[in-house]
Amino acid sequence: MPKIKTHSGAKKRFSLTKTGKIKRGCAKRRHDIKGCKSTKKMRQLRKEAYVDSTVAPQIKRLVPYM
């Protein structure tokens, strides 16, 4: 049985916690930080976010050796 290739984009964006959840970054943090987004919004975007349980099997398939 050959080894499965890891998806390069997925391995940079996701990490696994000890409990088996998949951690992800928040969207909408990159651009226009000073102008539009309030301090409250930026503080909320710093929090950890987790992948939904319905999408988790697909991501585990992309990064099999995580």
Q: What Rg do the C-alpha atoms of the chain give, in angstroms?
A: 15
> Does the structure show a pLDDT above 90 at 57?
yes
pLDDT score, position 49: 94
Structure letter (DSSP) for residue 23:
E
Q: Which of 62, 61, 60 is nearest to 17 (CA)?
A: 60
Residue 47 to residue 49: CA distance in whole angstroms: 6
pLDDT score, position 35: 79
pLDDT digits (tens, 9 = 90+) for 8-50: 999 999 999 999 999 999 988 888 777 788 889 889 999 989 9
pLDDT score, position 11: 94
Domains in the chain, CATH or no CATH each: 8-62 (4.10.410.60)
60 burial (CB, 10 Å; 0-12 / 13-18 / 19+) is: middle
In this prediction the pTM is: 0.78
